Amino acid sequence: MSLLEAKNLTHVFPEGTVAIKDISLKINSGEFVIIAGANGSGKTVFIRHLNGLLVPTKGEVLINGKPIKKNITLARRKIGLIFQDSDSQIVGQTVAEDVAFGPENLNLPIAEVEKAVRESLEIVGISDLSTKSPHTLSGGQKKKLAVAGVLAMNPNIIIFDEPLAGLDYPGVVQVLRQLDELHKAGNTIILVTHELEKTLAHADRLVIFHKGELVEDGKPEDVIYCSEKYGVRMPLRNGGEIGSMTWLR
Amino acid sequence: MDGRIKLLCMVLLSLSASFASEWQHYLTLLSLVFIALIITKLPIIALLKDMKFFAIIILIVLFTNAFNVPGDPIPGFPIERVSMQGVITGLRFAGRLITIIMVCTVVTGTTSLLTFKNVIEWYLRPVPFIPEVRIATMISLTFALIPVIFDSYTEIMNAQKSRCIELRKNPIKRVNFIVFPLLGQILRRADEIVYAMESRCYSEVRTRALFKINKLDWFILAICATSLLFVVA
């Protein structure tokens, strides 16, 4: 049984735009899946269905074989979503307060909240910034804060929506290192990006969306060669290898 | 110091300042404020400099009273409309304002926004039909959003300037070009924040802050209450 499964997901906006159409996808435990696609291909709409932020017009999402709509809080706890714009995700006036937001929503005892905050900040390596205002952090640090906020809820799956957008080289390296460490620690990672040259080496699977449909799903080496016809730059040039598609090395 | 007691002290001292009328009252209250400033190690000089922003309001209060309160003219003062009673009333109002501003400065300078949020939530808890958690969250989000809104404003302003908005003669149109994009951005961001909060299981049944009052807190509260009694009596 898959850890997470989307079954025939379709989402039509009220004005009639079909954002995603009949998408089925299974994610297994421990996988690192990249979802790529051109702008407007439905990636963000799709991932927002995975933890129940959007309700599908048709289809359903299952976590461990059970529909998420039966226990939406559990789904949101188990599926952490890191938004493209970190500023939108920050709700606390200090780093620690922001990380505590999730555990406090779960009504955990205060000692557990503090423990979760401490551990999450340690994992992402920003414990020393716990009393700082989030708005004074750099782009990379804000991403780390967003990750810590999600980790504090102890998720099984972490979804990153365009985490590298707008980051400079050190910022990209910071985020990639974080992704790599989270995956090595046993988390299931879903990464939404079209910057394959920076990330593909880490992926077990590459899924491509095009005009709201899932058009390719397979091992990166099998899928990558057809990416350009769906508006995603094919990163392998001059005999490059998939293993070199990272900014970590 | 416990946040609840601190807020209560602020209310008591502000009330004391509102009722103050004699110089002994002001002296007592200002002495308390200065002791608090010294204990909290707040930068007194910087705070006094910041008071200059309130100087205009204080001067307006002073002059309005001096010119409008009927009474005896000040001997030797060239403007006859200025009365002795008016000046004294103006000074009293100004004294009250200064005291209240300084009390609030001490409290805000030593209390985190998180504590404020938790204290407001605590005080609103027994009030029926008031969603205290929602109000506290709104306060928290407002403070979290202020720097973001300012950043957006600066960005939009710079973008418009780079396209020579200052050449537009009509000020209403100039304001339009800034206000509407800013409003759009704020609403979009508000939408995103709602999604982000939902994805982190936002709930109004959430972990409550713990408060602890010690003997010193009660002692400070007693001093503030005594000062109110002293002023009112």
Question: What pLDDT was estimated at residue B223?
Answer: 93
| Inter-chain residue contact B192 with A85, CB threshold 8 Å | yes
pLDDT score of A170 more than 80: yes
- B142: distance to nearest CA of chain A, Å? 9
Domain with A163 in it: 4-89+156-244
Measured between beta carbons, the chain B residues lying within 8 angstroms of A81 are: 199
Judge whether B97 and B54 are in contact, CB under 8 Å.
Answer: yes
Whole-prediction pTM? 0.79
Question: What pLDDT was estimated at residue A165?
Answer: 85
Residue in A76, A94, A109 closest to B199 by CB: A76
Residue A139 lies in a domain: no
ipTM: 0.83
pLDDT score of A238 more than 80: no
B207: phi then psi, degrees, rounded to nearest 5: -60, 130
Number of domains, chain A: 1
Query: Which CATH number covers residue A215?
Result: 3.40.50.300
Measured between beta carbons, the chain B residues lying within 8 angstroms of A150 are: 200
Residues in chain A: 249
Q: Report the chain B residue with the minimal C-alpha distance to residue A50.
A: B199
B189: part of which helix (H) or strand (E)? helix B171-199
Question: What pLDDT was estimated at residue A160?
Answer: 94
| Inter-chain residue contact A87 with B189, CB threshold 8 Å | yes
| Inter-chain residue contact A77 with B209, CB threshold 8 Å | no
| pLDDT one digit per residue (tens) for chain B, 233 residues | 889 999 999 999 999 999 988 888 999 999 999 899 888 888 888 877 877 778 888 888 888 888 888 878 777 777 777 888 888 888 888 889 988 998 998 888 888 888 888 899 999 999 998 899 999 888 888 887 888 888 888 988 888 888 888 788 888 888 888 899 999 988 888 888 899 999 999 988 888 888 889 999 999 999 999 999 998 88
Find, among B24, B42, B8, B40, the residue nearest to B223 by Cα: B8
Which of A87, A150, A162 best probes binding to B when mutated, by most B CB atoms within 10 angstroms? A87
User: Of residues B166 and A130, which shows the higher confidence score?
Assistant: A130
Q: Report the chain A residue with the minimal C-alpha distance to residue B147.
A: A135
- A114: distance to nearest CA of chain B, Å? 11
- A197: distance to nearest CA of chain B, Å? 28
pLDDT score of A239 more than 70: no
- Give the pLDDT band (50/70/90) at residue A92: confident
For B204-233, give one letter per residue: b (16+ CB within 10 A) or e.
Answer: eebbebeeeeeeebeebbeebeebbeebee
- A173: distance to nearest CA of chain B, Å? 24
Rounded-to-integer distance, Cα B150 and Cα B146, Å = 6
Q: Report the chain B residue with the minimal C-alpha distance to residue A133.
A: B144
Residues B27-83: tens digit of each pLDDT: 999 999 989 988 888 888 887 787 777 888 888 888 888 888 887 877 777 777 788
| Inter-chain residue contact B193 with A91, CB threshold 8 Å | yes
- Give the pLDDT band (50/70/90) at residue A91: confident
